[in-house]
Each structure stands twice: as C-alpha cells, then as structure tokens.
C-alpha cells in the first residue's frame, strides 16, 4: 500500500495516477495545500496567485476535462513599476521603454558585458544581461522576492522560469513588441484555483482520502507512520509532499538544517468598493522602499467592477509579523503608487506562506541528493515543490506525480485515463 502524505496537487495527482492501493493523509481540514480559494462578499481570492501555464497539452486535457467550472483563457498583461512609469515585463526585453540615460546604460552594458566567473545567481544575471539591467531590476526585485542576498543562490536557481533573452531578441523588441515568456497565457477557473484541485480529487477514491490526519513520526526501518490521532499505518511506499526538512525530522535522518532555507511570503487579499485604474493582471515592484514585490488584479481576470488584489511581501523565514502594521504599510504603498486612489477597503484576508520560495544553492542540492538517496533506500519518495525542495510549476508537480507512479507501480501498463508522457 502506498501512503501519500499531503492532499495538495502532487499528492492528489499521485493518487489519481497510481494503480497501487493507496491512502492519502492530509493534515488540514481541507485539500489543496497552497491552492485553496476563499470566496466572500463577492470576491474570489486564492491563498496567493496560482495561474496554470500549461506546456504539455496531454496534462492540460487530463486536468481540464474534469473541471466543473467556467474556464477563462487569458493572455497575460504584466508590468513593472519603474520610476515614474509602468514598463512591460520582462524588463530585459523592454529597456527601450526606460528614460534615455537608463536605456543607454543598459544597452551599453548589454553589448559590453564583462567576462566573469559565474558562481551565484547574482553572477548569472550580471554576466547574462550586463551590470545596468541587473542592478536596475533583476537584482533588487529578486532580492525582495527571495529575501536573501542573491550571491547565496545557485546560478540555476530559477531554471527555465527565468525570462531569458539574447541581444538579437532585445533589439528586435525595440520596434515590434514581444513580451513572451514561459507563462504568456494562463487558464483560470472562475471559481478560483481550488476548482483545479477538485478536478484532480474527482479522480481519487474518496474512501481513501482522509483529512485532519497529521503525521507525527515515521519509522523508516519498519515502514510505519504514526498520526496525531494515534493511528499507526504500515506502508510499502511512502510518498511525501510536505516540506523536505520536516520529513527528515520525522524520519530521524541526519542532515544540516542550515543548508535548507527559504523565505516566507505574507499575502494580503484585498477587496475594494470600485474598479481599478490599471489593466494589468500583475505588476512587479523592485523598489526597496515598497513593502510588496508583486501585486495582482483578480478583477482584471474576471472582468469585475470592484478592484480585487493579492499583495505579496517577501520576508526572511525568521521574521516577526505584525499583521495590522503590514496591512497599513501595504495600503499606504498602494496609495503612493496610485493603485489605491479614493478606494474604500471592503474586505480582506491575510495569510502567510512558510516556506514560500526555497533557496536553491549548490550546498542544498548536494545535501538533497544525499538525503533523497537515503530515503529511497527505505521506499520513501519526497515529491512536489516543497517535498523536492525546488522551484517548479503546478504542471511540473503533476508530471512528477505521474512519473513517480509509473516507477512504483506493481504493473507497467498505463491506465486509460492517464496522459501519455515519456517517463523521465
């Protein structure tokens, strides 16, 4: 029997794909992990912005075929707040929208890049785009996002999610705008991201999904997991989706805790009494004196006549949080940037994502490889964004669950309702 810890995207997807017997244990009172949705007073808010950017059409079909809600296909409109203007994202493709001096500096440094050793994410962005583009946007924005010095992150910390561009693309964009990136379009249910979770849940045996089941210890040698209600469950394979360090603690695996770090993100979902002035779906803010690094407009997705925002603030993992003080700062900064202009706050919701963005470094990757090998020796497999301690998309989580289910299946034949994908 496969014991699945966590009823989020990865755990539910594994349950939907596997042909082994299984049980899914979710610690919370509802499924979804960070992909939960709040609907109140006419507003629809996710725990934070979760927009599905499908690259694999088989996965897309498998998922949306089971969605029982209106799906909106959206061509994203994204901007960057820079000095006195909004410029199109990504920054490196739109330097021609800057003032003349900044444009000149960015273009010169792009053409005359220094040949430097690349030992960190900061080195990577400087070497790839030159000093000016790095210092005007890429470094300050990502340091706000990750709440860490970028010299401490691996050069490949963002992988394919980093919006790359070569000199030819950047210059071509001067005349014919092309702001494409990996997430140029997204699909979003009118009922929020939870509708995708429910679509996966419909493929899971409800009798094998249990809520309020928090694991408190794992006996790797005897393949037993103990839960907070006292139940002891024996398993053949354990599929974990909770944060990797927590799993290691429960299993008694020796590891260097300081190698696994992350930020946390404080999120305010804010509902106002009147429309927004901006047409953006989300906006990036690199300014160090602003409390948030990104805000998003749900109303511009739904076409609603009242402004509905998510506001994200990156914080160190040990930061103390004063919710009321953060809210007042966020509202003041939104007013300063002209987003709030005479709007009255009707309703709001606050939450903290911890961990949020993991800090990927050479040391963390080496440590991860070692502990994952030790876990696998005991038929424990840690998957998902936090279980695998990585940076990835929700679609990646589904594909990882599929591939893992195929590896662990008692039979190699595919179920008819599964996407046909190459197993990697």
Q: Which of 122, 132, 113, 114 lies closest to 155, judged by CA? A: 122
Which two three-digit tokens encode residue 409?
A: 């299946």
% of the chain exceeding 90 in pLDDT: 82
Residue 42 forms part of a structural domain = yes
pLDDT at 157: 85
pLDDT at 163: 67
User: Could you tell me the pLDDT band of residue 173, with boundaries at 50, 70 and 90?
Assistant: confident
Residue 91 forms part of a structural domain = yes
Tell me the mean pLDDT in the region 252-270: 97
In Å, how far are 171, 190, 355 from 330, measured between CA atoms? 36, 26, 21
Tell me the mean pLDDT in the region 262-279: 97
Do 236 and 97 lie in one domain? The reply is: no
Find out whether 313 and 295 touch, Cβ atoms under 8 Å. no
Looking up tokens 């996966």, which residue turns up? 200
pLDDT at 413: 43
pLDDT at 205: 97
Residue 414 forms part of a structural domain = no
pLDDT tens-digit series, residues 341-376: 999 999 999 999 999 999 999 999 999 999 999 999
Looking up tokens 């106002």, which residue turns up? 272
Do 274 and 348 lie in one domain? The reply is: yes
pLDDT at 114: 82
Residue 422 forms part of a structural domain = no
Upper half-sphere CA count for residue 202 (Cβ side, 13 Å): 14
d(CA 390, CA 158): 9
pLDDT at 13 over 90: yes
d(CA 41, CA 304): 13
Which two three-digit tokens encode residue 212?
A: 């309020």
Q: How many CB atoms within 10 Å of residue 260?
A: 22
Do 61 and 200 lie in one domain? The reply is: yes
pLDDT at 411 over 50: no
Do 165 and 200 lie in one domain? The reply is: no
Do 82 and 168 lie in one domain? The reply is: yes
pLDDT at 304: 96
pLDDT at 18: 96
Q: Which residues are CB-contacts of 251 (< 8 A; sequence separation ≥ 6)?
A: 218, 220, 375, 378, 380
Q: Max alpha carbon distance in the chain (Å)? A: 67
pLDDT at 165: 65
Domain boundary residue, one of 353, 383, 417: 353
Q: Which of 263, 264, 262, 256 lies closest to 368, judged by CA? A: 256
Q: Which of 16, 19, 23 lies closest to 239, judged by CA? A: 23
pLDDT at 187: 87
Domain boundary residue, one of 172, 203, 224: 172
pLDDT tens-digit series, residues 290-336: 999 999 999 999 999 999 999 999 999 999 999 999 999 999 999 99
pLDDT tens-digit series, residues 15-72: 999 999 999 999 999 999 999 999 999 999 998 777 777 888 899 999 999 999 999 9
Do 274 and 312 lie in one domain? The reply is: yes
First to last CA, the chain: 23
- 383: CATH: 3.50.50.60
Tally of domains within the chain: 3
Residues of the domain holding 47: 2-70+191-257+361-408
User: Could you tell me the pLDDT band of residue 410, with boundaries at 50, 70 and 90?
Assistant: low
Do 132 and 216 lie in one domain? The reply is: no
pLDDT tens-digit series, residues 81-140: 999 899 999 999 999 999 999 999 999 999 988 888 899 999 999 999 999 999 999 999
Strand order from edge to edge, sheet including 215-219: 215-219, 224-227, 232-234
pLDDT at 278 over 60: yes
pLDDT at 266 over 80: yes
- Average pLDDT of the chain? 92
DSSP class of 262: B
Do 12 and 33 lie in one domain? The reply is: yes
User: Mapping DSSP to helix (H, G, I), strand (E, B) and coil, where does residue 347 land?
Assistant: strand
Find out whether 390 and 358 touch, Cβ atoms under 8 Å. yes
Do 342 and 225 lie in one domain? The reply is: no
Do 246 and 368 lie in one domain? The reply is: yes
Residue 317 forms part of a structural domain = yes
Which two three-digit tokens encode residue 36?
A: 């939960």
Residue 21 forms part of a structural domain = yes
Tell me the mean pLDDT in the region 192-198: 95
Residue 418 forms part of a structural domain = no
Cis omega (within 30 of 0) on the bond before 125? no
Do 325 and 369 lie in one domain? The reply is: no
Beta-sheet pairing, 2-5 with 263-272: unpaired
Which two three-digit tokens encode residue 141?
A: 């924005």
Residue 93 forms part of a structural domain = yes
State if pTM tops 0.75: yes
Q: Which residues are CB-contacts of 398 (< 8 A; sequence separation ≥ 6)?
A: 9, 10, 13, 59, 62, 63, 200
Tell me the mean pLDDT in the region 198-204: 97
């Amino acid at each position: 029997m496969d014991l699945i810890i966590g009823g989020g995207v990865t755990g539910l997807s594994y349950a939907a794909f596997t042909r082994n017997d299984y049980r899914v244990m979710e610690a919370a009172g509802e499924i979804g992990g960070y992909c939960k949705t709040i609907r109140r007073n006419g507003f629809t808010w996710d725990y934070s912005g979760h927009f599905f950017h499908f690259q694999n059409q088989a996965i897309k079909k498998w998922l949306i075929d089971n969605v029982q809600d209106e799906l909106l296909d959206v061509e994203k409109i994204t901007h960057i707040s820079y000095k006195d203007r909004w410029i199109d994202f990504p920054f490196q493709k739109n330097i021609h929208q800057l003032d003349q001096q900044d444009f000149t500096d960015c273009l010169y440094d792009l053409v005359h890049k220094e040949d430097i050793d690349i030992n960190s994410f900061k080195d990577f962005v400087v070497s790839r785009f030159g000093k000016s583009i790095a210092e005007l946007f890429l470094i300050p924005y990502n340091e706000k996002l990750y709440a860490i010095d970028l010299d401490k992150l691996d050069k490949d910390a963002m992988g394919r999610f980093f919006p790359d561009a070569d000199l030819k693309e950047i210059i071509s964009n001067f005349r014919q705008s092309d702001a494409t990136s990996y997430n140029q379009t997204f699909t979003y249910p009118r009922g929020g991201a939870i509708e995708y979770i429910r679509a996966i849940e419909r493929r899971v045996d409800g009798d094998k999904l249990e809520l309020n089941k928090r694991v408190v210890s794992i006996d790797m040698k005897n393949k037993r997991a103990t839960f907070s209600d006292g139940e002891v469950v024996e398993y053949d394979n354990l599929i974990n989706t909770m944060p990797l360090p927590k799993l290691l603690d429960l299993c008694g695996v020796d590891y260097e805790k300081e190698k696994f770090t992350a930020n946390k993100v404080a999120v305010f979902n804010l509902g106002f009494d009147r429309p927004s002035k901006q047409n953006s779906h989300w906006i990036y803010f690199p300014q160090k004196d602003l409390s948030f690094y990104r805000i998003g407009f749900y109303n511009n997705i739904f076409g609603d006549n009242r402004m509905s925002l998510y506001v994200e603030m990156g914080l160190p993992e040990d930061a103390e949080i004063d919710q009321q003080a953060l809210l007042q700062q966020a509202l003041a900064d939104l007013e300063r940037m002209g987003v709030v202009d005479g709007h009255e706050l009707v309703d709001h919701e606050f939450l903290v994502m911890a961990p949020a963005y993991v800090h990927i470094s050479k040391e963390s990757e080496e440590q991860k490889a070692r502990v994952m090998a030790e876990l696998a020796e005991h038929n424990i497999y840690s998957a998902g964004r936090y279980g695998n301690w990585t940076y990835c998309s929700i679609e990646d989580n589904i594909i990882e669950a599929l591939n893992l289910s195929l590896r662990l299946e008692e039979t190699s034949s595919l179920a008819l309702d599964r996407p046909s994908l190459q197993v990697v």
